[in-house]
Structure 1
Amino acid sequence: MRLSATSRFMAAAAAAAVVWSGSNAYADGPADKTTQPSGPSGGAHGSDVYASAGYSRIKVRQISGPTGGNRGSLSSVDVNWKPPACWYEPVFTGEELKDFVDKTDGNGDVGIHESWFGKGLWTDHYKDGKPESNFDDASSIAEGYKDYNVGKKGYFWRSVAPDDSDPGSWDCSKIMFWQDAGRIPEIAHAPTPEMLSEYAYNQVKVPATKIELKPAATSTVNLPTWVWLDKSVFQDVTVRAELPRTDLWAQTTAKPVALHLDPGTDDAETYPSSGDCTFNADGSIGTPYRAGDADRTPPCGVRYLRATNGTPYHLKASVTWKITWTGTGGAHGDHPDGVFETTQDVNVQEIQSVNR
């Protein structure tokens, strides 16, 4: 039985008690079809991984930059940018596919929007050579295979979508197909170093923007509050993504380049007036306040013109990170800058002069 993503979870539960036949076909479609897609299934069967359209084998690790403390994901300054919605990956050798079908009785995802439950479906197409339609692309036919291609060098590739409700997931239309070893399929949405770099971008975690303030506890009306960032915290962050069973890899690096201050009120001035504080050559931002600096203008800071009355101002600090990448074969490029923002409470007192 072929089931839509909508029906996968119900079918998986029922499969334990029901012997499926291989004669019925069901698949989900976009909004104009009869059913709506939902999150793909996944899990483990012993030491094996189900052929799940929601499970990627891309290996990601951070290879430089801080790893502890409070961290978060970047937001792209380009509102139209997003990580890949779908792609193809090598899943099984011929022997592994045969073993998978035997162990699971043929229960798994053959594509993003289609699951096969019942050994007959798998043996018909991948063992006995019966052609099948590519459901997401009804105009194309997938030729069948003989004995799962056991003994041949290569892999069966399957589409992957982190979110199969994303309309972009429909762009990966093929059911699981064969590709000889040492080659990347020459089809749309095959993996590339740039695609892996985009995937890695979405995995980058940067430290929270905890800025240092002087005065630290309470600022004073009309006197500058100095702002700076510790160079030991804001270092480049590099994430590496590798796709097993291929030679494809990419490293995406986020480099902090600027801090933007938003005082949280119109009754304030920033230094510089744009609110944009650039990083120094040593990786720090601004200058720590020192005794005797009360009459100086800070290179990075804020001056509040009105006191708070029980409710603090919410000072927003946004660090901009420049994103670059390198990958297999010398490939390289840039992605849109990323931003990470945090907010700190600032109380301002009504005193016109103080001794520091």
Structure 2
Amino acid sequence: MSFAAKTCTLLATSAYAVVLSSTAAYGAIGDQDNKPPSSTPSGGASGNTLNAKATATQIKVTQVSGASGTSPKALAPVDPNWKPPACWYEPVATPQALKAAVDRLKKNPNTDLVPVTPTLSWGEDLMVDHYEKGKAENGSGDGYENYNLGKDGMFWRGVINQDRADDPASYDCEDTLFWQNARTLPANKHAPTPDVLAAYAYDKIKVPGTEIEAKPATRSTVNLPTWVWLDRGTFKEVKVRAELAAAGVWAETTAKPVALHLNPGTGDAETYPASGDCTINNDGSIGTPYAKGDAGKAPQCGITYRRATDGKPYRLSASITWRISWQGSGGAKADLPDGTFETTQDMDVQEIQSVNR
């Protein structure tokens, strides 16, 4: 269903005051004077109030290792159909925080609304009926008695991946604010399981830019090898951790560099090795540096151009392949599609002129 159609449906089926917003730019839920106990996770960015913005995830992302150099870059998955999650559900309110929000509605019914999905907010009547008095929502589904105060758990709501807010799939997490017992996850395909967090972490991985060393650097000669290498230790594995502490779920996604692929920018060239895939050595280096006296020798990693450029340089591209795997809470682990980062540089190729006598 399109977002426009979904909006019309919501307006048609609810007899209560609602507000809909494609940006979900709502205010905060909760009351600083009604803080939940410090031992109970409150949800929200501040720890004391519930941030109601639909893109304000509580997932904490930490780079554990790698990519400490300058100009880190994002990875591009080799599978063009792979995408990080567009939305998921998160715990967003304790019973105390939700009660405080509705108490504020009672004081300001014309100004304050409570977002119960990423696109829908409810006013005082529906919030009181459904979460305080236990009435069913629109004639279906059970309500909640007195906000489930005294129970061990939290109310959950959909959250949109802010990097994919334009994706229609970001509005698939539209279940109304619902209760989930502590230390359990919703039986829903959009639950924040370790694999969802792993995919979210993948999208946050930053790797060092690919800056190859070449000899000759920008001007080669027909039929003479161009050596390509990277210094040792340049490429090390990168690990990113995504954790949703309020749900007790985490995942660490690791990107390990495995190969450098050379594309000479023309079919009139030979690569070393023939596949163009230069493996990464155990010390993190690629290829071997050019040394005096190596002219004419076949490099471990490099290119031999067979035809000179004619006013327009070849576009030499170098891309690093990163193998992606993850492990997470509960012993879960798996692989994700490889990622690549590519850089290009101009390469002029000259032809040596000789005179026969």
Q: What's the TM-score bracket when you normalise by the shorter of the two chains?
A: 0.7 to 0.9
- Partner in structure 1 of residue 192 of structure 2: 191
- Distance of aligned partners of 1:307 and 1:154 in 2 relative to their CA distance in 1, 3 Å threshold: same
Amino acid at match of 1:144: G
- Partner in structure 1 of residue 25 of structure 2: 41
Matched, 1:23 2:16: yes
- Tell me the TM-score normalised to structure 2 length: 0.81
- Partner in structure 2 of residue 13 of structure 1: none
Matched, 1:265 2:270: no
- Partner in structure 1 of residue 124 of structure 2: 119
- Distance of aligned partners of 1:350 and 1:103 in 2 relative to their CA distance in 1, 3 Å threshold: farther
CA distance in 2, matches of 1:261, 1:39: 43
CA distance in 2, matches of 1:342, 1:75: 12
- Partner in structure 2 of residue 207 of structure 1: 208
CA distance in 1, matches of 2:281, 2:216: 22
CA distance in 2, matches of 1:160, 1:250: 18
CA distance in 2, matches of 1:153, 1:247: 14
- Distance of aligned partners of 1:101 and 1:212 in 2 relative to their CA distance in 1, 3 Å threshold: farther
Contact kept in structure 2, 1:39 and 1:165, CA below 8 Å:
no
CA distance in 1, matches of 2:66, 2:339: 16
CA distance in 2, matches of 1:190, 1:312: 51
CA distance in 2, matches of 1:240, 1:332: 13
CA distance in 1, matches of 2:227, 2:353: 17
Amino acid at match of 1:208: G
CA distance in 1, matches of 2:62, 2:342: 23
Residue 44 of structure 1 and its aligned partner are, at CA, apart by: 5.8
Residue 25 of structure 1 and its aligned partner are, at CA, apart by: 4.6
CA distance in 2, matches of 1:196, 1:120: 36
Q: Which stretches in structure 2 are left out of the alignment for 5+ residues?
A: 8-14, 33-45
Superposed CA RMSD in Å reads 2.8
Equivalenced residue count is 322
Query: After superposition, what is the alpha-carbon deviation per residue over 1:229-281, rounded to whole angstroms, capped at 9, x for unaligned?
Result: 22322100000010021221110000000111111122222111211111112
Amino acid at match of 1:193: P
- Distance of aligned partners of 1:260 and 1:215 in 2 relative to their CA distance in 1, 3 Å threshold: same
Amino acid at match of 2:121: S
- Partner in structure 2 of residue 30 of structure 1: none
Contact kept in structure 2, 1:88 and 1:158, CA below 8 Å:
yes
- Partner in structure 2 of residue 336 of structure 1: 337
- Partner in structure 2 of residue 82 of structure 1: 83
- After the TM superposition, list the runs of 4 or more consecutive aligned residues in structure 1 that deviate by more than 6 angstroms: 3-7
Amino acid at match of 2:134: G
- Partner in structure 2 of residue 216 of structure 1: 217
Query: After superposition, what is the alpha-carbon deviation per residue over 1:96-127, rounded to whole angstroms, capped at 9, x for unaligned?
Result: 122334457543431133233x3333223222
CA distance in 2, matches of 1:273, 1:100: 66
CA distance in 2, matches of 1:236, 1:267: 34
Residue 324 of structure 1 and its aligned partner are, at CA, apart by: 0.7
- Partner in structure 1 of residue 12 of structure 2: none
- Partner in structure 1 of residue 289 of structure 2: 288
Amino acid at match of 1:148: Y
Contact kept in structure 2, 1:236 and 1:253, CA below 8 Å:
yes
Query: After superposition, what is the alpha-carbon deviation per residue over 1:285-330, rounded to whole angstroms, capped at 9, x for unaligned?
Result: 1111011111210111111223334432211111111011111121
- Partner in structure 2 of residue 153 of structure 1: 152
Residue 209 of structure 1 and its aligned partner are, at CA, apart by: 1.0
Q: Which stretches in structure 1 are left out of the alignment for 5+ residues?
A: 8-21, 28-36, 134-139
Amino acid at match of 1:23: Y
Query: After superposition, what is the alpha-carbon deviation per residue over 1:194-230, rounded to whole angstroms, capped at 9, x for unaligned?
Result: 1111111111111111111111242222211101122
Amino acid at match of 2:126: L
Percent identity of paired positions between Structure 1 and Structure 2: 55
Residue 164 of structure 1 and its aligned partner are, at CA, apart by: 5.1
